[in-house]
Amino acid sequence: MLVHTPSVRRIIALTSIASAVLLSAGCSRGTTTAEAEAAESFREPVTITNCERTATFDAPPQRIISMNDHVTETLIQMGVGDRIVGMGYGEQPDPLSETAEQFRAIPSLAKEYPTSEQVLDLEPDLIVGGMRSAFDDKNGLGRDSLEAAGIATFLFSEYCGQGFPDISLLENDFAQLGAILGVEESATALTEGIVAGLDTIRACLDAAGAQPVRTFFYDSGEAEPLSVGGVGIGNLIGDYAGIENITAEGPKPYFATSWEVVGERQPEAIVVLDYGSISAADKIAFLRNHPVMATTPAVRNDRFVVVPLDDFFESSRMVASADTIARALHPEAFAG
Amino acid sequence: MSTVTETASLTQSPTGSDSRRSDRRRSLATVLTLLTAALALAVATAVSLGTITIPLGDVWAIVAYRISPVPLDAIWGDRWWSATREAIVFESRLPRALTAAVVGAALAVAGAVAQAVTRNPLADPYLLGVSSGAGFGVATVTVLGFGAGTLGIFTLPFAAFAGALLPLAATIVVSLRAHSVTAIVLVGVALSMVFSSLVTFVLLVLGDVHQLGTVMQWLAGGFGDANWRSLIAPTLVLIVTGTAIMLCSRRLNLLLAGDDGATALGMNVPRFRVLILLAVSLLAAAAVAVSGTIGFVGLLVPHLAAYLVGRNAARLVPTAGLLGAVALVLADILARSLSNTTELPIGVITGLVGGPIFIAMLWRRYSQDSR
Amino acid sequence: MTRLRAFGVQARLGERTVLHGADLDVAPGEVLALVGPNGSGKTTLLRTCYRALTVTEGAIMLDDKNIHTLRRRRVARIIGVSTQEPAAFGGVTVRESVRLGRSARRGWLEPFRTEDDDAVARALTQVSLTSQADRDVTELSGGERQRVSIARALAQEPQVLLLDEPTNHLDLRHQLGMLELLRTLAADGLAVLVTLHDLRLAAEYCDRIAVLDAGRVVDAGTPEHVLTPDLLETVFGVRGRIRTVGGRRVLDLYGLVDG
């Protein structure tokens, strides 16, 4: 489960306080839904390029639909939670504590993604997606058709197609979001909080001289394991957490490899991604009983780390997963 | 076992063309021996190849050390390979190759018999809705969670097997009343469509994207999770059902004379047909339970085997079985070696290879027929 | 030598009653032709005689035994049947197909023996298919496949022979040859029942004729007695009569009945 260690808590708390202060200073108008007017247009239109799509905003959007949980949390953290008129997913049982109240107040439109009718009915001016599947042409929610209907769209770059090689992608995304939403300061504070959190972990590891642990990321799969490749967020989190991803040659963020390859590379630890109907305990049991995996040091020494898949997305939750993994695999670096 | 009369003493074959045609049917013993050798070679190759390279000498040493009743450490020294490599060769590659062989044999035999008993060259082992029933079983357990996890890693295979037999049960009920072959086959087709739609419903309406992926992956077929324990059931089914079919080979041949002709020769045709279709579906269900739905093998291999030895069931069934085993082991080798990190689903290989071969065969046969 | 008799046979195909109390009597040494217009139930009646169809009323007797009290294989050793051959499924030679006729004489697991091969060879000779013996059945013409079916029935070495339209698809030479063969077999003691649509062949070659109309046998007896101008008109809608020419029966047909 989510581990909020003291240092991380402090960072997130600071970020929230900072944003709250900034917000209350700036948002005394308190616009609400139906009468939404342009809370103040920008002095100059803001132009951004997101996933190779350029868009110009004359005024900060006031009616936002957020398509994924981590997007919703991020927007709330940036202080625009009250502008969100509806969200996809939204059944996250444990939203980040500082976002929980607002999170639970936002109407969840569907178990996964809303239909195009639901979306259009809410008359949004911005839709923010956290995964490529959020903007599905087949369901009438392609970015082209939405923009043709006058609705701006934004996709977290993690899923733009180039993977997630370093944290600058997040910095860029959040800066852009901050700019178009008119909340640059809180966006910056959030970003800095995240970067600081990650850097702190790395600093602890460096200070203790921790060596990277050869690790296998296990998402799912019995005939073939689905693992984390070298270009996704998983790999980056691993870098910060003192891990050497044994399948870093994988061309996609998540890709299928073979048990032979994994076994041959003798991982010392296994990170199990927890989600869906198969419990982490079942996954671990499966790995323990697999004849090839049973010969690896990770299984023989019982070095498993469980991380919720929810924490493996471009958001402040990245810090939590890096922290969990780092502490589990390099306990000596965090003693005291 | 009836054999083709090699003795030409009863007929003088005056024209060369007639004797050429009987020569085309090679001696059964020759064909079976060659196929067995080919199977051994294919299995050996399958064990030697994989996503990581293990020296051939090591591979065979591992196998030898494991299966030898005499401990070979004393003779050739301690094991010089890692435990992982031993597990890869003996716990992963070997059972995988043997599973492919068993499944290939089961599908080919089931297909040959399905074609004989329906007198339809396009029949395949899934003709009674086995594949969509299996999909339904897997989808139900995955999405609706009925009995999820009750049998550990055997849950899905069992669900597939049970699901596969559902349409069969319905077909049997129908076929006990309607005796025509056409009726039975049509009911099977209809049930196949019903269960397919149910699968789609369960997956797309009730399930989520992830479950869809899991089920589709499972159905596309593959031997990646093969192990010694899961090999037991399909092997038993193959041996028992295969033997029963061989014992019925004369009756299967009689069906070539037509339903009435076979009745006139002393057979209870409707009852026999039901029992045989049950056997076919058992074989197909056992295969699907272990490896998902693999197409083309059950349809195509019987035709190739018939080309080699004719359609006399006593000759066709063992030939088809061996040929199917060889084909699927080779297909599995291909599926694993075309890319060095990932595997193609085996159904893709059998389709892409089997399809053109089938078309070529039909082309030859029907261009000969144009007179 | 066995005698086949049917008493008051009623039979249904699905919901429809096709036979409404038909009687037959085929004695050893004779060829009985079963004739009638299309749809009268000839094939259906034939099928009841070898248990391909169950009767709802009446009985089929072999000598004094009801065929339903006999085991199927026992019936198969006595009654040889030639039906319309189904669409050919390749991979089987003519010889193998004919040899299936020997199944009733061998256990299901017993291999065929030399005497079986001899019987097959004889049957092939009788239908003039010896030169085609090793060809695949799909390579034969319709008429040749018909003869395969007949050969199979002959290979059974039966005492009663039932043939459904054996002259279908046969060219003239083989039609006459076939009927001559039936006469020879009858002379050897077989009871032969054959359905024919060609009344002229029936009149010339068969000892007795049974006329089936709408599921009932309306008359049975020698051709001269049965194929009266009256019956020909009422049942077949044609005008004609039988005459005897030099010891042979000939059926002359004069044309359709008007109206």
Would you list the DSSP string of B71-117? -THHHH-S--S-HHHHIIIIIIIHHHHHHHHHHHHHHHHHHHHHHHH
What are the φ and ψ backbone dihedral angles of C151, each rounded to 5 degrees? -60, -40
* Rounded Cα gap, residues A322 and B82, in angstroms: 32
Tokens linked to C45: 């009646």
Please tell me which residue of chain A has the smallest CA distance to B145.
A277
Residue at token pair 């042409």: A137
Nearest alpha carbon to residue A237 among A290, A166, A293, A147: A166
Q: Name the 3-class secondary structure at B123.
A: coil
The CA-to-CA distance between both ends of chain A, in Å, stands at: 22
To the question of domain B101-370 being in CATH 1.10.3470.10, the answer is yes
Cβ-based contacts of B210 with chain A (< 8 Å)? 275-276
Q: Do B145 and A277 touch (CB under 8 A)?
A: yes
Please tell me which residue of chain A has the smallest CA distance to B336.
A258
Q: What is the pLDDT of residue B14?
A: 37
Tokens linked to A205: 């590891």
Q: What is the pLDDT of residue B152?
A: 67
Q: Which residues have a Cβ under 8 Å from the Cβ of A55 and sit 6 or more positions away?
A: A47, A48, A49, A147, A152, A153, A180
Cβ-based contacts of B247 with chain C (< 8 Å)? 108-109
Q: What is the pLDDT of residue A37?
A: 45
Tokens linked to B74: 């004393």
Q: Identify the weakest region by mean pLDDT among A14-28, C2-16, C130-144, C217-231.
A: A14-28
Torsion angle of C-alpha atoms A114, A119, A125, A126, degrees rounded to 10: 10
* Rounded Cα gap, residues B273 and B175, in angstroms: 9
- The answer to whether B339 contacts chain A (CB < 8 Å) is no
Question: Position B103: which residue type?
Answer: V
Q: Is the dihedral of CA A66, A68, A73, A77 positive or negative?
A: negative
- What's the Cα-to-Cα distance from C113 to each of B4, B253, C116, C128, C132, rounded to whole Å? 12, 17, 5, 23, 21
Q: How many Cβ pairs within 8 Å bridge chains B and C?
A: 125
Q: What is the pLDDT of residue A94?
A: 84
Please tell me which residue of chain C has the smallest CA distance to B23.
C134
Which chain B residues in 284-313 lie under 8 Å from chain C, judged by CB atoms? Answer: 306-307, 310-312
Q: Which residues have a Cβ under 8 Å from the Cβ of A205 and sit 6 or more positions away?
A: A241, A242, A326, A330, A333
Query: Which pLDDT band, with edges at 50, 70 and 90, does A8 fall under?
Result: low
pLDDT per residue over B300-357, tens digit each?
Answer: 999 999 988 999 999 999 999 999 999 999 999 988 887 766 678 888 889 888 889 8
Q: What is the pLDDT of residue A330?
A: 93
Mutation target for B interface from A226, A264, A288: give the one with most B CBs within 10 A. Answer: A264
Tokens linked to B66: 């494991």
Element (H, E) at C38: none
Cβ-based contacts of B1 with chain C (< 8 Å)? 111
- The answer to whether B248 contacts chain C (CB < 8 Å) is yes
CB A113 within 8 A of CB A133: yes
Q: What is the pLDDT of residue A11?
A: 59
Cβ-based contacts of B263 with chain C (< 8 Å)? 50-52, 72
pLDDT surpasses 60 at A17? no
Q: How many Cβ pairs within 8 Å bridge chains A and B?
A: 78
Q: What is the pLDDT of residue B148?
A: 67
Q: What is the pLDDT of residue B313?
A: 93
Please tell me which residue of chain B has the smallest CA distance to C115.
B10
Cβ-based contacts of B149 with chain A (< 8 Å)? 282
Cβ-based contacts of B82 with chain A (< 8 Å)? 295
Element (H, E) at C106: none
ipTM of the complex: 0.90
- What's the Cα-to-Cα distance from A192 to each of A3, A15, A197, A235, rounded to whole Å? 20, 9, 8, 21
CB B357 within 8 A of CB B327: no
The three-point CA angle B119-B242-B215 to 5° equals: 85
Q: Which residues have a Cβ under 8 Å from the Cβ of A271 and sit 6 or more positions away?
A: A215, A216, A217, A218, A238, A243, A304, A305, A306, A307, A325
Element (H, E) at A261: helix A259-264
Nearest alpha carbon to residue A64 among A17, A112, A106, A116: A106
* Rounded Cα gap, residues C90 and C97, in angstroms: 11
State the average pLDDT for chain A.
Answer: 86
Q: CA of B210, closest CA in chain C: separation in Å?
A: 46
Please tell me which residue of chain A has the smallest CA distance to B215.
A221
Q: Do B153 and A286 touch (CB under 8 A)?
A: yes
* Rounded Cα gap, residues C219 and C210, in angstroms: 6
CB B197 within 8 A of CB B185: no
Q: CA of A223, closest CA in chain B: separation in Å?
A: 4
Are there at least 3 beta-carbon pairs closer than 8 Å between C and A?
no
Q: CA of B344, closest CA in chain A: separation in Å?
A: 11
Q: Name the 3-class secondary structure at C90.
A: coil
Q: What is the pLDDT of residue A256?
A: 85
Q: Which residues have a Cβ under 8 Å from the Cβ of B162 and sit 6 or more positions away?
A: B137
- What's the Cα-to-Cα distance from A55 to each of A44, A50, A61, A212, B47, rounded to whole Å? 14, 8, 13, 41, 56
Question: Position C247: which residue type?
Answer: G
How many C-beta atoms surround the C-beta of residue A1 within 10 A? 11
Q: Do A292 and B92 touch (CB under 8 A)?
A: yes
Query: DSSP secondary structure string, B251-287?
Result: HHHHGGG-HHHHHHTT--HHHHHHHHHHHHHHHHHHH
Nearest alpha carbon to residue A160 among A132, A123, A198, A129: A132
- The answer to whether A301 contacts chain B (CB < 8 Å) is no
Query: Which pLDDT band, with edges at 50, 70 and 90, does A336 fall under?
Result: low
pLDDT per residue over A179-206, tens digit each?
Answer: 999 999 999 999 999 999 999 999 999 9
Q: Identify the weakest region by mean pLDDT among A150-164, A252-266, B211-225, C20-34.
A: B211-225
* Rounded Cα gap, residues B329 and B42, in angstroms: 6
Cβ-based contacts of A259 with chain B (< 8 Å)? 88, 92, 224
pLDDT surpasses 70 at A13? no
Cβ-based contacts of C95 with chain B (< 8 Å)? 5, 11
Nearest alpha carbon to residue A76 among A88, A58, A89, A64: A64
Q: What is the pLDDT of residue B340?
A: 66
Which chain B residues in 96-115 lie under 8 Å from chain C, judged by CB atoms? Answer: 115
Weakly modelled stretches of chain B, pLDDT under 50: 1-22, 371
pLDDT per residue over C176-217, tens digit each?
Answer: 999 999 999 999 999 999 999 999 999 999 999 999 999 999
* Rounded Cα gap, residues A233 and B183, in angstroms: 57
The domains of chain B are located at 101-370
Tokens linked to B298: 């059950």
Cβ-based contacts of B343 with chain A (< 8 Å)? 224, 256, 258
Are there at least 3 beta-carbon pairs closer than 8 Å between A and B?
yes
CB A242 within 8 A of CB A330: yes
* Rounded Cα gap, residues C77 and B264, in angstroms: 9
Q: CA of B209, closest CA in chain A: separation in Å?
A: 9
Q: Is the dihedral of CA C69, C72, C77, C79 positive or negative?
A: positive
B91 → closest Cβ in A250, A261, A291: A291
Q: What is the pLDDT of residue B115?
A: 94
Beta strand C248-256 with C31-35 is: unpaired
* Rounded Cα gap, residues A173 and A167, in angstroms: 10
The CA-to-CA distance between both ends of chain C, in Å, stands at: 47
Q: What is the pLDDT of residue A36?
A: 43
pLDDT per residue over C89-134, tens digit each?
Answer: 788 999 999 999 999 899 888 889 999 999 999 999 999 999 999 9
Hey, what domains does chain C have and what are their CATH numbers? 2-254 (3.40.50.300)
* Rounded Cα gap, residues C224 and C18, in angstroms: 28
Percentage of the residues of chain A whose pLDDT score is greater than 70: 88
pTM of the shown model? 0.82
Tokens linked to A104: 């639970």
Tokens linked to B145: 């969670």
- The answer to whether B332 contacts chain A (CB < 8 Å) is no
pLDDT per residue over A279-304, tens digit each?
Answer: 899 999 999 999 999 999 999 999 99
* Rounded Cα gap, residues C241 and C251, in angstroms: 6
C-alpha atoms less than 13 angstroms from C-alpha of C247 in its C-beta half-sphere? 0
Residue B183 exposed, middle or buried by CB count within 10 Å (0-12, 13-18, 19+): middle
Give Cα A139 to chain centroid, integer Å: 24
- What's the Cα-to-Cα distance from B337 to each of A73, B90, B94, B291, B331, rounded to whole Å? 44, 19, 16, 19, 10
Q: Do C152 and B261 touch (CB under 8 A)?
A: yes
| Chains in contact with A, counting 3 or more C-beta pairs less than 8 Å apart as contact | B
Q: Do C103 and B266 touch (CB under 8 A)?
A: yes
* Biggest CA-to-CA distance, chain C: 61
Average pLDDT over every residue of C29-48: 93
Q: CA of A140, closest CA in chain B: separation in Å?
A: 17
Give Cα B337 to chain centroid, integer Å: 22
Beta strands, E only, chain B: none
The three-point CA angle B72-B74-B75 to 5° equals: 70
CB C41 within 8 A of CB C211: no
A224 → closest Cβ in B91, B148, B343: B343
* Rounded Cα gap, residues A24 and B208, in angstroms: 40
The three-point CA angle B50-A230-B86 to 5° equals: 25
How many C-beta atoms surround the C-beta of residue B25 within 10 A? 21
B266 → closest Cβ in C76, C87, C134: C76
Query: Which pLDDT band, with edges at 50, 70 and 90, does A212 fall under?
Result: very high
* Rounded Cα gap, residues C162 and C150, in angstroms: 10
Q: Do B10 and C121 touch (CB under 8 A)?
A: yes
